[in-house]
Amino acid sequence: MGLRPKILLGFLILATMLLVAGGWSIYELSNIGISVQRLLDDNYKSIDAAKSMTEALEREDSAILLLLLGKRDEGREILRSADNSFEKAFETARNNVTISGEQGYVEAIRINYDTYKKLWAQNIAGTAKEGDLNWYFSDIHSSFLNVKSAVKKLMDLNDKTMYKTASNLEGRAHRATMPGVIAIISAFIFAVIFSFLVNLLVVSPIIRITSGIHDYLETGKSFNVKIETTDELSHLASSVRSLIERSKL
Protein backbone atom coordinates (compact mmCIF):
# COMPACT_ATOMS: atom_id res chain seq x y z
CA MET A 1 0.00 0.00 0.00
CA GLY A 2 1.25 3.45 -0.92
CA LEU A 3 2.05 6.21 1.54
CA ARG A 4 -0.90 8.36 0.57
CA PRO A 5 -3.52 5.57 1.04
CA LYS A 6 -1.99 4.72 4.44
CA ILE A 7 -2.34 8.29 5.71
CA LEU A 8 -5.78 8.64 4.14
CA LEU A 9 -6.89 5.38 5.75
CA GLY A 10 -5.79 6.61 9.16
CA PHE A 11 -7.82 9.81 8.84
CA LEU A 12 -10.81 7.87 7.50
CA ILE A 13 -10.76 5.54 10.51
CA LEU A 14 -10.61 8.50 12.89
CA ALA A 15 -13.42 10.30 11.04
CA THR A 16 -15.54 7.11 11.07
CA MET A 17 -15.09 6.73 14.82
CA LEU A 18 -16.17 10.32 15.43
CA LEU A 19 -19.07 9.99 12.98
CA VAL A 20 -20.40 6.85 14.66
CA ALA A 21 -20.09 8.40 18.12
CA GLY A 22 -21.75 11.62 16.96
CA GLY A 23 -24.59 9.72 15.28
CA TRP A 24 -25.11 7.62 18.40
CA SER A 25 -25.26 10.74 20.59
CA ILE A 26 -27.70 12.46 18.24
CA TYR A 27 -29.91 9.36 18.22
CA GLU A 28 -29.97 9.14 22.02
CA LEU A 29 -30.60 12.87 22.45
CA SER A 30 -33.41 12.75 19.89
CA ASN A 31 -35.04 9.90 21.80
CA ILE A 32 -34.70 11.87 25.03
CA GLY A 33 -36.40 14.84 23.38
CA ILE A 34 -39.24 12.62 22.19
CA SER A 35 -39.58 11.11 25.67
CA VAL A 36 -39.70 14.54 27.28
CA GLN A 37 -42.40 15.64 24.86
CA ARG A 38 -44.36 12.45 25.58
CA LEU A 39 -43.94 13.10 29.29
CA LEU A 40 -45.42 16.56 28.90
CA ASP A 41 -48.20 15.35 26.63
CA ASP A 42 -49.20 12.45 28.87
CA ASN A 43 -48.48 12.81 32.57
CA TYR A 44 -48.31 16.58 32.85
CA LYS A 45 -51.55 17.01 30.93
CA SER A 46 -53.34 14.68 33.36
CA ILE A 47 -51.78 16.41 36.37
CA ASP A 48 -52.85 19.80 35.07
CA ALA A 49 -56.36 18.46 34.47
CA ALA A 50 -56.47 17.10 38.04
CA LYS A 51 -55.44 20.48 39.41
CA SER A 52 -58.17 22.17 37.39
CA MET A 53 -60.74 19.69 38.69
CA THR A 54 -59.63 20.34 42.27
CA GLU A 55 -59.94 24.09 41.80
CA ALA A 56 -63.40 23.65 40.28
CA LEU A 57 -64.49 21.47 43.22
CA GLU A 58 -63.35 24.07 45.73
CA ARG A 59 -65.31 26.75 43.89
CA GLU A 60 -68.37 24.51 43.92
CA ASP A 61 -67.97 23.98 47.65
CA SER A 62 -67.85 27.75 48.16
CA ALA A 63 -70.93 28.18 45.95
CA ILE A 64 -72.86 25.61 47.99
CA LEU A 65 -72.06 27.56 51.15
CA LEU A 66 -73.42 30.67 49.45
CA LEU A 67 -76.63 28.77 48.67
CA LEU A 68 -76.87 27.73 52.30
CA LEU A 69 -76.68 31.41 53.16
CA GLY A 70 -79.60 32.09 50.81
CA LYS A 71 -77.60 33.74 48.01
CA ARG A 72 -79.28 31.80 45.21
CA ASP A 73 -78.22 33.76 42.10
CA GLU A 74 -74.60 34.17 43.06
CA GLY A 75 -74.26 30.57 44.22
CA ARG A 76 -75.92 29.14 41.09
CA GLU A 77 -73.70 31.22 38.77
CA ILE A 78 -70.54 30.02 40.48
CA LEU A 79 -71.80 26.42 40.41
CA ARG A 80 -72.55 26.60 36.70
CA SER A 81 -69.12 28.05 35.88
CA ALA A 82 -67.27 25.63 38.17
CA ASP A 83 -69.20 22.63 36.82
CA ASN A 84 -68.26 23.58 33.25
CA SER A 85 -64.61 23.91 34.28
CA PHE A 86 -64.70 20.54 36.02
CA GLU A 87 -66.27 18.77 33.05
CA LYS A 88 -63.76 20.31 30.66
CA ALA A 89 -60.82 19.21 32.81
CA PHE A 90 -62.37 15.76 33.27
CA GLU A 91 -62.68 15.30 29.50
CA THR A 92 -58.99 16.15 29.17
CA ALA A 93 -58.11 13.50 31.75
CA ARG A 94 -60.43 10.92 30.24
CA ASN A 95 -58.98 11.41 26.76
CA ASN A 96 -55.42 11.21 28.09
CA VAL A 97 -55.38 7.77 29.71
CA THR A 98 -51.83 6.51 29.13
CA ILE A 99 -50.91 4.63 32.32
CA SER A 100 -51.88 1.10 33.25
CA GLY A 101 -54.81 1.29 35.68
CA GLU A 102 -55.42 4.99 35.07
CA GLN A 103 -58.83 4.31 33.51
CA GLY A 104 -60.10 3.01 36.87
CA TYR A 105 -59.08 6.26 38.60
CA VAL A 106 -60.89 8.31 35.95
CA GLU A 107 -64.05 6.22 36.31
CA ALA A 108 -63.92 6.66 40.10
CA ILE A 109 -63.87 10.43 39.61
CA ARG A 110 -66.88 10.22 37.31
CA ILE A 111 -68.92 8.13 39.76
CA ASN A 112 -68.07 10.25 42.80
CA TYR A 113 -68.67 13.51 40.98
CA ASP A 114 -72.07 12.42 39.68
CA THR A 115 -73.06 11.52 43.24
CA TYR A 116 -71.80 14.85 44.50
CA LYS A 117 -73.53 16.80 41.75
CA LYS A 118 -76.92 15.24 42.48
CA LEU A 119 -76.78 16.70 45.99
CA TRP A 120 -76.38 20.30 44.88
CA ALA A 121 -78.21 20.12 41.54
CA GLN A 122 -81.50 20.52 43.39
CA ASN A 123 -82.55 23.78 44.98
CA ILE A 124 -80.93 24.59 48.28
CA ALA A 125 -81.67 28.26 48.81
CA GLY A 126 -85.29 28.81 49.79
CA THR A 127 -85.75 25.23 51.00
CA ALA A 128 -85.44 23.49 54.34
CA LYS A 129 -81.79 22.78 53.50
CA GLU A 130 -80.92 26.48 53.63
CA GLY A 131 -78.75 27.08 56.66
CA ASP A 132 -78.69 23.37 57.54
CA LEU A 133 -75.00 22.87 58.33
CA ASN A 134 -75.63 19.37 59.63
CA TRP A 135 -76.89 18.35 56.18
CA TYR A 136 -73.88 20.09 54.60
CA PHE A 137 -71.33 18.23 56.71
CA SER A 138 -73.08 14.86 56.68
CA ASP A 139 -73.88 14.74 52.95
CA ILE A 140 -72.41 17.55 50.84
CA HIS A 141 -69.00 17.92 52.43
CA SER A 142 -68.34 14.19 52.74
CA SER A 143 -69.28 13.70 49.07
CA PHE A 144 -67.07 16.65 48.15
CA LEU A 145 -64.15 15.01 49.96
CA ASN A 146 -64.78 11.74 48.12
CA VAL A 147 -64.50 13.43 44.73
CA LYS A 148 -61.47 15.41 45.81
CA SER A 149 -59.82 12.22 47.06
CA ALA A 150 -60.49 10.47 43.73
CA VAL A 151 -58.95 13.40 41.85
CA LYS A 152 -55.92 13.38 44.15
CA LYS A 153 -55.36 9.67 43.49
CA LEU A 154 -55.28 10.37 39.76
CA MET A 155 -52.81 13.19 40.33
CA ASP A 156 -50.61 11.03 42.58
CA LEU A 157 -50.55 8.25 39.97
CA ASN A 158 -49.33 10.63 37.29
CA ASP A 159 -46.90 12.28 39.70
CA LYS A 160 -45.28 8.93 40.49
CA THR A 161 -45.18 7.97 36.82
CA MET A 162 -43.67 11.32 35.90
CA TYR A 163 -40.99 10.94 38.57
CA LYS A 164 -40.20 7.41 37.39
CA THR A 165 -40.02 8.55 33.78
CA ALA A 166 -37.83 11.51 34.72
CA SER A 167 -35.48 9.15 36.57
CA ASN A 168 -35.27 6.95 33.49
CA LEU A 169 -34.56 10.00 31.35
CA GLU A 170 -31.71 10.94 33.68
CA GLY A 171 -30.17 7.51 33.10
CA ARG A 172 -30.66 7.82 29.36
CA ALA A 173 -29.09 11.29 29.38
CA HIS A 174 -26.06 9.78 31.10
CA ARG A 175 -25.90 7.06 28.46
CA ALA A 176 -26.18 9.68 25.74
CA THR A 177 -22.93 11.27 26.94
CA MET A 178 -21.07 7.97 26.84
CA PRO A 179 -20.53 7.93 23.04
CA GLY A 180 -18.81 11.30 23.31
CA VAL A 181 -16.57 10.05 26.12
CA ILE A 182 -15.83 6.85 24.23
CA ALA A 183 -15.10 8.83 21.07
CA ILE A 184 -12.65 11.11 22.90
CA ILE A 185 -10.82 8.19 24.52
CA SER A 186 -10.80 6.15 21.30
CA ALA A 187 -9.67 9.13 19.23
CA PHE A 188 -6.85 9.80 21.70
CA ILE A 189 -5.69 6.16 21.62
CA PHE A 190 -5.96 6.01 17.84
CA ALA A 191 -4.13 9.35 17.50
CA VAL A 192 -1.25 7.99 19.59
CA ILE A 193 -1.12 4.79 17.51
CA PHE A 194 -1.43 6.73 14.27
CA SER A 195 1.32 9.13 15.33
CA PHE A 196 3.57 6.18 16.19
CA LEU A 197 2.91 4.56 12.80
CA VAL A 198 3.51 7.83 10.91
CA ASN A 199 6.78 8.27 12.78
CA LEU A 200 7.75 4.65 12.11
CA LEU A 201 6.70 4.45 8.48
CA VAL A 202 7.19 8.03 7.27
CA VAL A 203 9.29 10.29 9.48
CA SER A 204 11.95 7.74 10.43
CA PRO A 205 12.61 6.59 6.83
CA ILE A 206 12.85 10.22 5.65
CA ILE A 207 15.37 10.96 8.42
CA ARG A 208 17.39 7.88 7.44
CA ILE A 209 17.37 8.85 3.75
CA THR A 210 18.37 12.42 4.60
CA SER A 211 21.14 11.18 6.89
CA GLY A 212 22.40 8.80 4.18
CA ILE A 213 22.56 11.62 1.61
CA HIS A 214 24.33 13.86 4.11
CA ASP A 215 26.91 11.17 4.89
CA TYR A 216 27.60 10.68 1.18
CA LEU A 217 28.05 14.38 0.54
CA GLU A 218 30.23 14.97 3.60
CA THR A 219 32.36 11.83 3.77
CA GLY A 220 31.69 10.02 0.51
CA LYS A 221 30.21 7.11 2.44
CA SER A 222 28.15 4.76 0.31
CA PHE A 223 24.41 5.21 0.43
CA ASN A 224 23.24 1.99 2.09
CA VAL A 225 19.86 3.08 3.44
CA LYS A 226 17.30 0.27 3.17
CA ILE A 227 13.57 0.86 3.51
CA GLU A 228 11.60 -2.23 4.48
CA THR A 229 8.30 -1.00 3.08
CA THR A 230 7.34 -0.96 -0.59
CA ASP A 231 5.76 2.48 -0.73
CA GLU A 232 6.95 5.81 -2.13
CA LEU A 233 9.74 6.11 0.44
CA SER A 234 11.22 2.80 -0.71
CA HIS A 235 11.15 4.07 -4.31
CA LEU A 236 12.74 7.33 -3.14
CA ALA A 237 15.58 5.49 -1.45
CA SER A 238 16.13 3.37 -4.57
CA SER A 239 16.15 6.47 -6.78
CA VAL A 240 18.67 8.22 -4.55
CA ARG A 241 20.87 5.13 -4.56
CA SER A 242 20.70 4.93 -8.37
CA LEU A 243 21.47 8.62 -8.69
CA ILE A 244 24.52 8.30 -6.44
CA GLU A 245 25.77 5.23 -8.31
CA ARG A 246 25.49 7.07 -11.63
CA SER A 247 27.29 10.08 -10.26
CA LYS A 248 30.28 7.87 -9.47
CA LEU A 249 30.67 6.83 -13.09
What is the CATH T-level fold of the domain 21-178, as seen in this structure?
A: Four Helix Bundle (Hemerythrin (Met), subunit A) (1.20.120)
> What are the residue boundaries of the structural domains of the chain, listed by start?
21-178
pLDDT of residue 37: 65
- What DSSP line would sit under 159-194, residue for residue? HHHHHHHHHHHHHHHHHHHHHHHHHHHHHHHHHHHH
233 or 211: whose pLDDT is higher?
211
Give 94's pLDDT tier (boundaries 50, 70, 90). Answer: very high
Instruction: List all residues 6 or more positions away from 150 whose beta carbon is below 8 Å from its beta carbon.
Output: 105, 108, 109, 112, 113
Average of pLDDT values for 194-222? 82
The pLDDT tens digits for 149-203 are: 999 999 999 888 877 777 776 666 666 677 677 777 877 787 788 788 888 877 8
**Can you tell me whether residue 197 is helix, strand or coil?**
helix
**Range with the poorest average pLDDT among 32-41, 85-94, 115-124, 202-211:** 32-41
pLDDT of residue 236: 81
pLDDT of residue 39: 62
Are 112 and 143 in contact by the 8 Å Cβ rule? The answer is yes
The pLDDT tens digits for 72-92 are: 889 899 999 999 999 999 999
173 or 117: whose pLDDT is higher?
117
Q: Tell me the C-alpha to C-alpha distance, in Å, between residue 62 and each of 66, 116, 212.
A: 6, 14, 102
* Maximum separation of any 2 CA atoms in the chain, in Å: 135
The rounded percent of the chain whose pLDDT value lies above 70 is: 87
Give 117's pLDDT tier (boundaries 50, 70, 90). Answer: very high
The pLDDT tens digits for 119-157 are: 888 877 677 777 888 888 888 999 999 999 999 999 999
